[in-house]
Amino acid sequence: MEEIKFNQIGVSFKGSGSYVPDQILTNQKISQKVDTSDEWIKSRTGISERRISNLKENVTEMGYVAALNAIKMANWDIETIDLIILATSTPNDLFGSAPSIQAKLGAENAVAFDLTAACSGFLFSLVTATQYLKGGSFKRAIVIGADQLSSFVDWNDRRSCILFGDGAGALAIEATNLFDNFIGFDMRTDGERGSFLNLPSKNNKDSIVDNIDFLSGGFSSIQMNGQEVYKFAVREVPIILEKLFRTTNFSSDKVDWLILHQANQRILDSVGDRLKISKEKILSNLEKYGNTSAATIPIMMDEAIRDNRIKQNDIIASSGFGAGLSWGAALFKWG
């Protein structure tokens, strides 16, 4: 038989890692702060509790541990890492937190930068990293999703504060000329609908000297139109996944796992129904962590890889969606 040669550069998934803070904020505890109940939150979102960073934890610390765990699973020497992308909207340094993770890891040969796309950030970063690997620029990449939304939630706003938590997850991926496990992707944004979910700057007018005014920097809290975000997610996520299945000649029945951004269990169920993907294939850990923004997809993956639900060569369809508005989908094979 004629030997089939793979003469392109492909991508292989080698490791995963995650980190969540120990501090648990249950629905019961939130109901001491705002007028809500465990029953309301659980039935509308599927969330029972979320993790909140302590005073020493931040995106760098959480992202570092997640990355280190992924590197350990991949069994890589730190100096062989070429690229570190940190998906975050809540860096502890507005100039970028990825280089501080690089420094903590001692990954001196890597270039590290942040990428911001809210809850789509991990998916956008994963796509970005795979394109560098497939293009031949880099061989080994760490993609991290880490967010600390607890610092930006309005803890007096019951419509939004119930949803969010903190955490980090990471994947280790590398270039290979043997096969390509990154099957396809699609990405979209629509700034026209951006006002449905944002975390705007809050500037105060001040002056430097006479006649030279400036705006001092700062941020407000998360502003969300929950119903519009909900409608956006249940409409756009199935559309982008169906399109991806079509363009890659895949059908949803070949998918082993659907890993969606963990925003709301009702969104996960609705997307699964639309795509005719059975409930057992839709991974969810919303109950324990709520919405950790850029971290939800890699935390979920790491959990399912470590407990052996996700096995070598399993086909994963994933979609991230959120502020921007932004959304994207990727189809890949674990391993």
Chain positions contacting ligand ACO, by CB under 6 A: 36, 40-41, 44-45, 118-119, 158-159, 162-163, 197, 224, 226-227, 229-230, 263-264, 291, 293, 322-323
Q: Provide, rounded to whole angstroms, the least separation between the CB of residue 116 and ligand ACO.
A: 11
> Given the complex with ligand ACO, which of 159 and 246 has the nearer CB atom?
159
DSSP label of 328? E
> Given the complex with ligand ACO, which of 17 and 121 has the nearer CB atom?
121
Q: For residues 194-214, b (16+ Cβ closer than 10 Å) or e, as one string?
A: eebbbbeeeeeeeeeeeeeee
Which residues carry out catalysis? 119, 261, 291
- Show the CA angle centred on residue 155, arms to residues 153 and 156, nearest 5°: 130
Nearest-CA neighbor of 23 among 54, 47, 66?
54
CB-based contact 70:17 (threshold 8 Å): yes
Q: Provide, rounded to whole angstroms, the least separation between the CB of residue 284 and ligand ACO.
A: 14
Backbone angles phi, psi at 215, to 5 degrees: -105, 120
> Given the complex with ligand ACO, which of 39 and 253 has the nearer CB atom?
39
Cα 264 from Cα 272, distance rounded (Å): 13
Q: Provide, rounded to whole angstroms, the least separation between the CB of residue 289 and ligand ACO.
A: 13
Nearest-CA neighbor of 25 among 130, 128, 162, 157?
162
- Which residue's Cβ has the minimum distance to ligand ACO? 322
Q: Provide, rounded to whole angstroms, the least separation between the CB of residue 325 and ligand ACO.
A: 8
What residues contact 42, with CB distance under 8 A and at least 6 apart? 27, 48
Q: Provide, rounded to whole angstroms, the least separation between the CB of residue 335 and ligand ACO.
A: 29
- β-pair type (166-176, 315-322): unpaired
